[in-house]
Amino acid sequence: MADLLAPGHRGCAGCPASICVRQVLDAAGPNTICTNATGCLEVMTTPYPETAWKVPWAHSAFENSAAMASGIEAAYKALNRRNGTNKKPNIIAFAGDGGTFDIGLQALSGALERGHRMLFVCYDNEAYMNTGIQRCSSSPIGAWTTTSPEGSCSSGKTQRKKPIAMIAAAHDIPYVATACISYPQDLKAKVKKALSFDGPSFLHVFAPCPTGWRFPSEKTIAMGKLAVETGVFVLYEMTDAEPMKPIVTVKPKEFRPVEEYLQAQGRFAHLFKPKRDEVTLKRIQEDVDRKLKWVGLKP
């Protein structure tokens, strides 16, 4: 048990991104090279000349974390060939939801298609937190952000969340999984499994952000558990042996009502006050049920 992310970084109290990195690196071990897209994680861990990373780490631009990781993998291949060595460090690309769902999508798609041996980890806090909580294609229906405000004509974001794990899986890559920082055993098992494949793998990590979602910092872990227990986020994995067939790894016995999850966060407060927004609440419930149907948890 060794921490590969040092203290002293500037993340908010209760930050889920650093919890995600600590758990991923704990599973991957010190023989790892990381690349990092622009985002909260990059800004808070490495204000030059400070760095909190104890493994080799490099900052790419916002869009090309996956491209940089694939370059590192290709360089290792070339050096191994030239020197007759067989060095195979784990190569992990970190990106937030902005650097994965929106801005980094084409670099990610390219790297997955080229088949580099690397793991792409997306920590998903459902908005652009680093620049001040702007709407992202990962934000869920009804969520308040600064660019999807609530008011008399709007009840937060109107569109659905993009199913990024399914998009990654559609590239027919060896391994795709979703995980949550609240279930560290499950997350670490998935990281180890992902790194065992000789090809690209994708991990979508759900990371509840106290600052952007408007809840107290000590509830970061509880919020992740609540998301899984209400069916808002499903933990599953897919391999290319059975493409596009998700196998659920954490199955709640009974799903709790989605409203429990919504009421715990300030970004959904406008759905309940001053009066209940039945239309949006129904849309959210329908969307959750649809996604549960996809993975076979609801008939």
Partner 1 sequence: MVTKITKGCVIYNSPTSLGNKTGGWRTMKPVVDEEKCKKCNICWQFCPDSSIEPADRKANKAIKINYDYCKGCGICAAECPFKAITMVMEEK
> Minimum distance between the CB of residue 57 and partner 1, rounded to whole angstroms?
8
Beta carbon nearer to partner 1, 47 or 132: 47
Beta carbon nearer to partner 1, 6 or 74: 6
Site for partner 1 in 9-28 (CB under 8 A): 9-16, 18-19, 22-23
> Minimum distance between the CB of residue 164 and partner 1, rounded to whole angstroms?
23
Cα separation, 231 vs 252, whole angstroms: 8
Residue 90: CB atoms within 10 A of its CB come to 22
> Minimum distance between the CB of residue 156 and partner 1, rounded to whole angstroms?
26
Cα separation, 215 vs 209, whole angstroms: 8
Contacts of 9 (CB under 8 A, 6+ apart): 18, 44, 45, 52
CB 251 within 8 A of CB 165: no
Q: Which of 3, 172, 260, 286 binds partner 1 (CB under 8 A)?
A: 3
Beta carbon nearer to partner 1, 131 or 185: 185
Beta carbon nearer to partner 1, 54 or 88: 54
Beta carbon nearer to partner 1, 4 or 164: 4
Binding characters for partner 1, 22-61, by CB under 8 A (x = yes): xx---------------------xx-xxxxxxx-------
DSSP per residue over 145-212, as a string?
BTTB-BSSS-BS--SPPP-HHHHHHTT--SEEEEEETT-HHHHHHHHHHHHHSSS-EEEEEE---HHH
> Minimum distance between the CB of residue 221 and partner 1, rounded to whole angstroms?
5
> Minimum distance between the CB of residue 16 and partner 1, rounded to whole angstroms?
7
Pairing of strands 247-250, 235-239: antiparallel
Q: Should residue 103 be labelled a site residue for partner 1 when binding is judged by CB under 8 A?
A: no
> Minimum distance between the CB of residue 182 and partner 1, rounded to whole angstroms?
8
DSSP single-letter state for residue 11: P
58, exposed or middle or buried, with CB in 10 Å at 0-12, 13-18, 19+? middle
Cα separation, 100 vs 184, whole angstroms: 22
> Minimum distance between the CB of residue 217 and partner 1, rounded to whole angstroms?
4
Site for partner 1 in 174-233 (CB under 8 A): 181, 184, 210, 216-222
DSSP single-letter state for residue 271: G
Contacting positions for partner 1 (CB under 8 A): 1, 3, 5-16, 18-19, 22-23, 45-46, 48-54, 181, 184, 210, 216-222
